[in-house]
Structure 1
């Protein structure tokens, strides 16, 4: 059975607690969790769930990544993904420099717009390396084109590439870069005068605060997004974005332990999904009946209603058109519920399947790593497949 080194989340919580000169009991008094759980997390006997980490980070007034250890630089360097981040960072800094006279040839507007859509699709298919390699040049070309001959379509495409930069940064754990990308997305969306894009940006900002444990701020951002998208009327696009905002509000409410609000937001999202059907093509949000079911299950997970979440997970039938990234996220959530309800073998199978479908996403997903950590400690005799998973994520 593998033993975890001192570079796990619990050990980092212990280190930061000591730096804050707090005992375990003193920190536990600041948390909506028991002293016993904190003790188990610090020694590695229990995984540190995302909501637990967020609560600790909030109490210690530090960023969540200090506790999760993101970005996981050693693995990123081994996968040659870390070297792709700097060019993206540099491309994001071109936004206000106007046309680039050094660009000799730029593709046609139609080609650039199509490429922006394609690269977003690659991220949904979890081909992160391919997307990250193509992104800097595409941002540079679109920035030049939008400044040279401004049009709504070009600004929209540029906003889309900034959104893709955000998505890649989040999946690889570079949250500082994701914040820059969201700022650029807002800048381009304003120039496109596109309320739907602006509302999508508010949804993504809300998820930042979901991760950090500032649920009220996240809820305010969702409400702001609903006001913005309301300017777009009753179009299919606007309804899909409004529905996704309700789903974001549902998981935020779940983290805040507001079960009434969870039900209200899920019901409203379900109503919209029934009205417009599958709208996974709208801004690549994956909105539709299936995504409503997935968020309802995720909300149960966040409220630690694991038996309920597992019951839902076993009834969910994922449509073939569902994005691979969303499918893998479901499997990671399912693995957590299976581990928490004593179905360790099922949890391992879900993680192995998530790795098969989306290796890059799964390797750098904090919840996947924490669930693997939990399974290692629960196993008296560790299966080879779990040994391989633990080594693969760097435990």
Structure 2
């Protein structure tokens, strides 16, 4: 059944705040956020930013997923996605069992193509299709790597673990995404691939970004940068380094360090001039577009919504850019538009994001919060907004 409108992040914050016997003013003071912002978030009038959610979670001694309500089990069951999680969980536990005698793996090139196809499905937000295929491919790639260990075989296996991270993250299973990253590290080490190892540190830093542990995230970015120094100087390494700079920019922005965030954005922009659009290089989507999108995001994280929206209006997303990245950017803009009181524009942006990446946006906490804010802002709810609210599980 859909959730009642009261079950938004603000309502959960209020519940945990009362459990800790704190007033709104006390919580706002301890979390170093404004009282008026907290009041609006608890009322569901305005969407909470990830930085605010993280600050409140730390103050209340809970995890961010406790406040976002992830994973959204009712909707996962409706979409029959919950049944696909257990096979992924089991596949992630096969890594040290050696070759499965019941599996005759395909040739290395075929397995690499299959792994790339899974990455493509995720970027196109065909999460259900990717999740169905993933466990079998992990098992096959595991057997292949144990039967004929090679750099290529371990790289393919690392790629399947990367896809497991992507899927479990998008569906809200934070515990599994951490396991997937551990497995990716295990495979990358055997592949002796410093670029894969560096990318794994980037992904790991994003986990800590989401949980509000910014200092740990920054340390992981530093480790990733050091690891990439072991790779040969080429476009692939520049792409990975550039993406680490973008991760560092988000960590700095959420921790309130706008100057450092701007420095990392500038360095990423410099690298992107050399790399160009690198959509398929380790599926990082690095390039001038991703730099521009991160510039918008870092401004939004600093509550500079007018500037973020202004810059977003100048961003032109290439036609071959992954739907997952484009939709996430548009959802970010929708949140900023709502904070600026531009409800109609925000609703249009959310509809666009939904059309681009329906499976991803249905499970995106930012989308749910923005929808809840739009519902609260309208005395009479338009039909399009009502449909969107029911679709994300608010009703």
**What is the TM-score when the length of structure 1 is the normalising length?**
0.97
- Secondary structure of the residue aligned to 1:315 is coil
Deviation readout 1:115-157 (Å, 9 max, x if unpaired): 0111011101110001000000000000001001101001001
Describe how 1:265-280 pairs up with structure 2 within 5 A. 265-280=264-279
Distance in 1 of aligned mates of 2:94 and 2:215: 33
Structure 1 stretches of 4+ with a deviation exceeding 6 A read: none
Distance in 2 of aligned mates of 1:155 and 1:99: 13
Cα drift, residue 4 of structure 1: 4.5
Q: Which residue is 2:368 aligned to?
A: 369
Shift of the 3–131 alpha-carbon distance from structure 1 to 2, 3 Å rule, reads: closer
Deviation readout 1:79-116 (Å, 9 max, x if unpaired): 0001100000000000000011222x322221111101
1:54 and 2:54 are equivalent in the alignment? yes
- Secondary structure of the residue aligned to 2:230 is helix
Deviation readout 1:297-328 (Å, 9 max, x if unpaired): 11111111000000001001111121111110
Distance in 2 of aligned mates of 1:140 and 1:339: 45
After TM superposition, the structure 1 stretch with the greater mean CA deviation from structure 2, 26-35 or 380-389, is 26-35
Q: Are 2:3 and 2:393, in contact at CA under 8 Å, matched by a contact in 1?
A: no
**What is the TM-score when the length of structure 2 is the normalising length?**
0.97
Cα drift, residue 3 of structure 1: 10
Shift of the 220–345 alpha-carbon distance from structure 1 to 2, 3 Å rule, reads: same
Q: Which residue is 1:72 aligned to?
A: 72
Q: Which residue is 2:44 aligned to?
A: 44
Distance in 2 of aligned mates of 1:38 and 1:118: 43
Distance in 2 of aligned mates of 1:47 and 1:117: 35
Cα drift, residue 37 of structure 1: 2.5
Cα drift, residue 363 of structure 1: 0.5
Deviation readout 1:336-395 (Å, 9 max, x if unpaired): 111111211111011001111110100000101111011111112221100000011111
The gaps in structure 2 that reach 5 residues or longer are: none
Distance in 2 of aligned mates of 1:99 and 1:4: 49
After TM superposition, the structure 1 stretch with the greater mean CA deviation from structure 2, 373-382 or 190-199, is 373-382
Distance in 2 of aligned mates of 1:3 and 1:186: 38
- Secondary structure of the residue aligned to 1:200 is helix
- Secondary structure of the residue aligned to 1:86 is helix
RMSD of aligned alpha carbons:
1.4
Cα drift, residue 41 of structure 1: 2.1
Shift of the 188–248 alpha-carbon distance from structure 1 to 2, 3 Å rule, reads: same
Q: Which residue is 2:387 aligned to?
A: 388
Q: Are 1:49 and 1:370, in contact at CA under 8 Å, matched by a contact in 2?
A: no
Q: Which residue is 2:215 aligned to?
A: 216
Describe how 1:276-291 pairs up with structure 2 within 5 A. 276-291=275-290
Q: Are 2:46 and 2:339, in contact at CA under 8 Å, matched by a contact in 1?
A: no
Deviation readout 1:175-194 (Å, 9 max, x if unpaired): 00000000000000000000
The gaps in structure 1 that reach 5 residues or longer are: none
